[in-house]
Structure 1
Amino acid sequence: MYKIAVVTMGVRLNDEKGYTRFRYICEFLTDAGYKVDLITTTFQHWEKAQRDLEKIRKEQYKFGIKFIYEPGYKKNVDPRRIHSHAVAAKNLTALLEKEGDYDLIYAEIPPNDVALAAAEFAKRKGIPFVADVNDLWPEAMRMVLDIPVVSDILFYPLKRDAEKVYSLVSGVIGTSDEYRDRPFQRQERPIPRETVYVGNELREFDEGAEKNREEIRKPDGEFWVSYAGTIGTSYDIRTMVLAAEELMKRGRTEIRFKILGGGPMKEELEELASSRNISSVEFVGYAPYDKMAAYLKASDVLVNSFVRKAPQSIVTKIGDYLAAGKPMINTCMSPEFRAKVEHDGFGINIEPEDVSVLADAVERLHGDKDGCARMGQKAREIAEEQFDRPKSYRKIEALIRGLIEKNQNEGETWKD
C-alpha cells in the first residue's frame, strides 16, 4: 500500500468554515487504496483562530491527520502572515524529518515557503513531489500593494521560493490551464501535468439545495442576481452595489442583488449601500455550503465578479455556480476563463468595474428568458462533465500512481 502525505494550510475539517478540496483529495486517495496523512496547520485560516485539536481528534476521518503549529494572523494580507507561514514551513520540515516515511508528497502552493519545505524534503528522500497550484504568489499580492521597485523588493522572497518549488516538482496539478502551466514559464521540463478544476460534488450540492429549498424562497416577481464568495480586494462587489442602485433608478425594483460571504471589505460596502439607501442589495453574510447551494439555485443570474487587475483564473466558486444551472455574468479578465465562458455558452463576458455595463447586462438577461434557460442548461452540463469531483479527480490519482510506480521501478533498476 503506497503512503502519501497531502500538505495544505487551508482545509475545512468537519464543522469549520472554508474549502473542502484537500479533504476530498485525501478521501478520494484513501478510497483508491492509498494510506494517506493530511498534514495541516493548527491555525484555521478562515476563522482566524487556533483549532480545537482535542475535538478534532475525537472526530472520524478516513485518513490520518497531523498538525504543525502555526502562530496565525488577523488578516489575509498581514505581515504576520509571512511570519506565520515561515514558522509553519520550519515545523513542517521538522515533522517530515521525524515521521516522513512516504512514497510521495502532494502539497498545495501557495504558501510558497511551506511548499518549498515539502519539495526539499521529497528531494532529500528521493520520492516524487506533486505541486497543486491553486493561486499565484506574488502575483496576487500586487492587487493589494503594487508600488514600483518597493513591491519587487518586498515580494522577491515569494517569487524566489515559487521558482525553487517549480524546479523540484515531479508532477503538477493546476486548478486551471494557466496555473497548470505556470511552473514551466521559465523552466520547461518533461514531467506530467494536469488541469483539475477545484470543482465540487454535485450530489452534495444538489442535496444541500433541496434540503434548504423551502427556507430560501424567492418572492413572486423578484429577479435575483447573486454573488457567493470572498468580499475582498480582488472582487468587484462595489460595482454590483452601484449597479443595483442604477437599476433602481431605472425603475427595476424587482431586480434584487444577493451578496453571500464575508471578507475585509464587507462592512465598507454595507455602509455604501446603507448610506445611499440601496434597498435592493442584501448582504446575506457567510452561509453554510448547503444553504449557499439553495441561494444559488433560487437565483436567476450569478455574477463572477472581479476587478480588472485580479490575477485569478478559474476559482473555487465556479463549480458551484455551474452546478446551480444558472446563466453567469463574468467580469474576470482571465483569457482562459473568458474563452471558456464564450466557447461553452453558459454566460456572457463583460468589462469589469463599469456600473452601466453591469446594469445593462442584468437588464438584458432579465428580458431574455429563453437565453437564460439555454445558458443555465449548458452550465449544468459543464458542471457534470468537468467539475464533478468523483469523475475529475481521477486524473490526480492517475498522475500520482504513475509517478510512484516510475520512481519505484527506477529504484529497482538501479539496484539491479
Structure 2
Amino acid sequence: METNPTAKASGGRQRAAKHIAIVTMGVKLGNETRGYTRFRFLAELLVREGFEVDLITSSFQHWEKAQRDCANACYRGLPYRIVFIDEPGYTRNLDLGRIRSHRVAAKNLRAHFERTAGTYDLIYAEIPPNDVARTCAEAAEAQRIPFVADINDLWPEAMRMVVNIPVISDVAFYPFKRDARRVYQLLSGAVGTSDEYAARPAQDRQRPYPCATVYVGNDLAAFDAGAQAHESEVNKPEGVIWTTYAGTLGASYDVETLIAAAALLEQDRREKGNNAYLPAIRVQVLGDGPDRAKLQEQASTLDAPVDFRGYLDYEHMAAYLCASDIVVNSLVRTAVQSIVTKIGDYLASGNPMINTGSSTEFRAKVSADGFGVNVEAGNPQALADEIAKLAGHSSLRKIMGAKGRAVAEREFDQPHSYRKIVDLLRTLL
C-alpha cells in the first residue's frame, strides 16, 4: 500500500535522481510516539542529498502492537514516499507469532519488488528481521542493483540468550542462520551499528565488501531542544543523586542488578548515618517492557530507592537524562548487544556512564574515550561501589560527562555521522 500517490512512479521512465528503497519493519512515523527514527532520518537525509526515496515499512506498528491507519494524513505530504507492506502482527517480541508475521511480511515485500521491478537503483534494508532482509537481497540480485544491509542486531545469536537448549535451539534457529548467511553473501555493502556488526558478514563470505560503522546515534539538536523544553517539568529533590537507566525492561537488560545495587547503597547510607558521607541516591528507570511488574516487586521487597517513570516520549526522556547525575548502560552478562540505541542519548546528557555490557568493543571505547567506567555484569556490590564513587566526586562526574558529550557530538550526531552512509551509497551507485 503506497502513500503519497503523487510521488514519481515506477517503470522505465527516465529519472534525474537515483531511486532508493529503504526497508525497515520498525520505524516511528508521522505522529506516532514510539519507535526508532534511524531510517526515517536517513530517508530525509537522502532526499536532501538529491535522491528519490521510498521508505518501505510494515502496516503493523511494532511498539504499539497495533495496525497502523495507513490512510492517515500524517503519512502523506512527506519528502519521501511511504510504502506500507501488509503484515498481520503479533503480541509478543519473541514468540512464534512474530516469526509467522515476519514471514508474511517478507512474502508481501517480495510481491512489491516484483511489481515494481525497474523502479529502484539500490535497496537498503535493515537486518534483522532476517527473512525480510533476505527478500531484499534476492530482489536486488534479480534486478542487478546494489543491496546494502544495515546490521543492527545479530539473529540468531541474540535469541540464544533467551532460549539456548542444545540441539533444539540449533534446529529452531537454523532458518535465521540460513537467511543471515544468504544476506551476507549477497550484499554489495554493509553498514553496522558497531564495528563488530559491520565486520560480521565476512564470516560468511570470501569476497571483500565496502562497509561503514555508523552508530544509531541521535539528532543532538532535537535532544537538546527536548531537554530544554521540559526541564521545568522534572522535579528532582535537592541533594539527591539520580542514577538513571533508559530503555526496555526485558531479557537483555539487567535492571535487576541495578535495583539490588540501589538497595545496598541505601542500606549502607542508613547504617553509617553521619559517620561517613554518602549522598542519597535514587535510581530512575525510564522505560517499559515485559519485566516491569517483576522489577517493581523486587524494588518493593528490597525497599530500594527506585522510581519507575514508565515510557516517556523522547523529549521528556531527554529532560530526565540531563537532570540525572549518572547514567547506566545495564546489560546482562550474556547479552550480545554491542553499542545499543540509547548510548547516543546517554552521552548527549553530559553525564558519566557506568557500563555493564560485555561487548569488548564498547568496553574498550568506554575506557579509551574516558566517559565512564566498566563494571562486571550481574554484580550488585561492584555496581554499588562505582555508583558511590561517582556520587561522591562531582568533579569526576563533570570531567567524564564532558568527555561523553564531546564523543556524542563527534560520533553520534546523526546529521554528521550519517554522511558515511550517503558516501557509501554514492560509491555503490
The TM-score with structure 2 as length reference comes to 0.92
Query: Is residue 29 of structure 2 the alignment partner of residue 13 of structure 1?
Result: yes
Unaligned runs of 5+ in 1: 405-416
Provide the residue aligned with 1:141 in structure 2.
159
Query: Is residue 214 of structure 2 the alignment partner of residue 196 of structure 1?
Result: yes
How many angstroms does 1:54 deviate by? 1.7
Alignment of 1:8-407 (within 5 A): 8-16=24-32, 17-56=34-73, 59-100=76-117, 101-251=119-269, 254-278=280-304, 280-404=305-429
How many angstroms does 1:271 deviate by? 1.5
1:181 alignment partner AA: A
Q: For residues 57 and 370 of structure 1, do their structure 2 counterparts lie closer, same or farther at Cα, with a shift above 3 Å needed?
A: closer
Give the aligned CA root-mean-square deviation in angstroms: 1.0
How many angstroms does 1:324 deviate by? 0.5
2:18 alignment partner AA: Y
Deviation above 6 Å: which 4+ runs of structure 1?
none
How many angstroms does 1:61 deviate by? 1.8
Question: What is the rounded CA distance, in whole Å, between the counterparts of 1:268 and 1:58 in structure 2?
Answer: 37
Question: What is the rounded CA distance, in whole Å, between the counterparts of 2:410 and 2:198 in structure 1?
Answer: 19
2:332 alignment partner AA: V
How many angstroms does 1:276 deviate by? 3.1
How many angstroms does 1:185 deviate by? 1.6
Is the 2:30–2:74 Cα contact (8 Å) retained in structure 1?
A: no
Q: For residues 160 and 58 of structure 1, do their structure 2 counterparts lie closer, same or farther at Cα, with a shift above 3 Å needed?
A: closer
How many angstroms does 1:123 deviate by? 0.3
Question: What is the rounded CA distance, in whole Å, between the counterparts of 1:181 and 1:75 in structure 2?
Answer: 30
Identity of aligned residues (%): 56
Q: For residues 58 and 400 of structure 1, do their structure 2 counterparts lie closer, same or farther at Cα, with a shift above 3 Å needed?
A: closer
1:220 alignment partner AA: E
How many angstroms does 1:117 deviate by? 0.3
Question: What is the rounded CA distance, in whole Å, between the counterparts of 2:144 and 2:410 in structure 1?
Answer: 36
Unaligned runs of 5+ in 2: 1-16, 270-277
Question: What is the rounded CA distance, in whole Å, between the counterparts of 2:252 and 2:47 in structure 1?
Answer: 35
Question: What is the rounded CA distance, in whole Å, between the counterparts of 2:125 and 2:235 in structure 1?
Answer: 41
How many angstroms does 1:277 deviate by? 2.8
Q: 1:108 aligns to what SS in structure 2?
A: strand
Is the 1:217–1:298 Cα contact (8 Å) retained in structure 2?
A: no
Matched residue pairs, number?
A: 403
Question: What is the rounded CA distance, in whole Å, between the counterparts of 2:73 and 2:83 in structure 1?
Answer: 11
Q: Deviations over 1:197-233 (max 9, x none)?
A: 1011110000000000000132110100000001100
Question: What is the rounded CA distance, in whole Å, between the counterparts of 1:55 and 1:187 in structure 2?
Answer: 43
Is the 1:224–1:300 Cα contact (8 Å) retained in structure 2?
A: yes
Question: What is the rounded CA distance, in whole Å, between the counterparts of 1:355 and 1:140 in structure 2?
Answer: 24
Q: 2:204 aligns to what SS in structure 1?
A: coil
Q: Deviations over 1:145-179 (max 9, x none)?
A: 01111101100000000000000000000000000
2:381 alignment partner AA: S
Q: 1:4 aligns to what SS in structure 2?
A: strand
Question: What is the rounded CA distance, in whole Å, between the counterparts of 1:188 and 1:203 in structure 2?
Answer: 41
Q: For residues 56 and 108 of structure 1, do their structure 2 counterparts lie closer, same or farther at Cα, with a shift above 3 Å needed?
A: farther
Is the 1:200–1:319 Cα contact (8 Å) retained in structure 2?
A: yes
User: Which has the higher mean CA deviation after the structures are superposed, 269-278 or 172-181?
Assistant: 269-278
How many angstroms does 1:367 deviate by? 1.2
